[in-house]
Structure 1
Amino acid sequence: MSKTKSLLFQYDSNEFEVKSITTCYKGFFSINKYALTHRNFDGQNSGLIEREIFERGDAVILLPYDPIRDVVVFNEQFRAGALNRSYSPWLLEFVAGMFGENEDPVDVAIREAKEEANLDIEKNDIFHIMNYLSSPGGTTEQLHLYGAIVDSEGVGGVYGLPEEGEDIKVHVIDREEAMALLHTGKINNAATIIALQWLALNVDDLQAKYARDR
């Protein structure tokens, strides 16, 4: 039987060492090359490993849900990262935005909700769902996923900041229809999939709590 430890998460942030960081590209985003070593599961140190990492910065995702009407607010916009696929590069997503300097994630959510969807959201409307790494094999980005209880009456239109190249069409979609779009692959970006799957697991609790309060 192998003597290798089977404990989960047996190593922490003290078990690696970054030898150097070299900037390969710096623009709106950056790419850095890391040279590092880390502890192997056999207890030995690895050899020197070099990895190019996309330094994108953290972002906030906001799931706007109306528990009274049982609808979800989506953004539809063009995404250059989907250009080379067989499907349309106009994707259904949730409100999202990157952090400004020293900005709180809730403040990011409130700002982006207004800019992208013309939603006026208060801090007490927002709740934290989870944080997760978007693709840790190649980027440092962590996504901060929040939900917001909204009143969807009159919501819709085209918004976004032209100076940031944003052209965002806002849709209000029945939750069951949104789940059907998810199941048929029409919703195909990770943040929206994760948020909708969370909603599927928690919708009864949200409706019991917030539909009663409004």
Structure 2
Amino acid sequence: MPDAAAEFDNNDVEILSRKTAYQGFFKVEELRLRHRLFAGGWGGELRRELFVRGDAVAAVLYDPVADRIGLIEQFRIGALAERRGPWCLEVVAGMIEAGETAEAVMRRELIEEADFRPRELRPICEYLSSPGGCNERIHLYCALGDLSGAGGIFGLDTEGEDIRLRVFSAAEVFDAMLQSRMNNAATLIGLQWLQLNRAGLRTGANA
């Protein structure tokens, strides 16, 4: 089974040293480690850099009555070399701080970035963004609610945010999403889940 328990766990990794290599807007750690091998025994020492991000939340906004999807548009430094430019169309997202729950952070970010108060937050999944070098885990949701009249410019000035909420028909989003500025994992995973569950969400909303 693909979801069967792994042969190894955290106890099969030996951390030899761990130190902060960089601390700025983001944090990078430098590790020396070794781990057990599938063929038996232990591998040699590895040196790796870890981009420390921690847990985050993200939500695709969906109005099942109007069959419309809300996406935010903002500048992203990681998309600077993209041929479509560095302004991405995304789901609402934010970082979880110590002592916070994923749902509470998600509700706060929905208000800050989109002025959206969901009728329901439907959990989709949790996934690792890029486990080859980053520890970020995304808690992904579908935020269900009324998008009629939604739109505008949001974000916190103290965080340098310039965020625009845009609302589209579900059909036009699904037609364009794989070849567009919706080119980031949380957005595509959320939209693909929505494609699979759209009919049921609409039936429930109209029951």
TM band (smaller chain) = over 0.9
Distance in 2 of aligned mates of 1:75 and 1:34: 36
Match among 161, 175, 190 for residue 195 of structure 1: 190
Q: Corresponding residue for 2:172?
A: 177
Superposition pairs for residues 131-210 of structure 1, below 5 Å?
Answer: 131-210=126-205
Q: Percent identity?
A: 43
Q: Corresponding residue for 1:115?
A: 112
Match among 70, 76, 79 for residue 79 of structure 1: 76
Ranges in structure 1 where 5+ consecutive residues have no aligned partner: 1-6
Distance in 2 of aligned mates of 1:63 and 1:192: 7
Q: Corresponding residue for 1:100?
A: 97
Q: Corresponding residue for 2:65?
A: 68
Match among 46, 51, 56 for residue 49 of structure 1: 46
Pair 1:126-2:116 in alignment = no
Q: CA RMSD in A?
A: 1.4
Distance verdict in 2 for CA 1:129–1:45, change over 3 Å: same
* 1:8 Cα deviation from its structure 2 partner: 7.0
Task: Give 1:131's aligned amino acid.
Answer: E
* 1:211 Cα deviation from its structure 2 partner: 3.1
Task: Give 1:189's aligned amino acid.
Answer: N
Match among 2, 7, 12 for residue 9 of structure 2: 12
Distance in 2 of aligned mates of 1:210 and 1:20: 53
Distance in 2 of aligned mates of 1:38 and 1:21: 15
Which deviates the most, 157-166 or 9-18?
A: 9-18
Please give the per-residue CA displacement for 1:46-97, whole angstroms capped at 9, x wherever unaligned.
1111100100121100111110011111100111111122221111001100
Distance in 2 of aligned mates of 1:54 and 1:132: 16
Distance in 2 of aligned mates of 1:181 and 1:164: 30
Task: Give 1:199's aligned amino acid.
Answer: L
> So what's the TM-score if we normalise by structure 2?
0.94
Task: Give 1:73's aligned amino acid.
Answer: G
Distance in 1 of aligned mates of 2:60 and 2:182: 14
Aligned length: 204
Match among 28, 32, 41 for residue 31 of structure 1: 28
Distance verdict in 2 for CA 1:118–1:94, change over 3 Å: same
Ranges in structure 2 where 5+ consecutive residues have no aligned partner: none
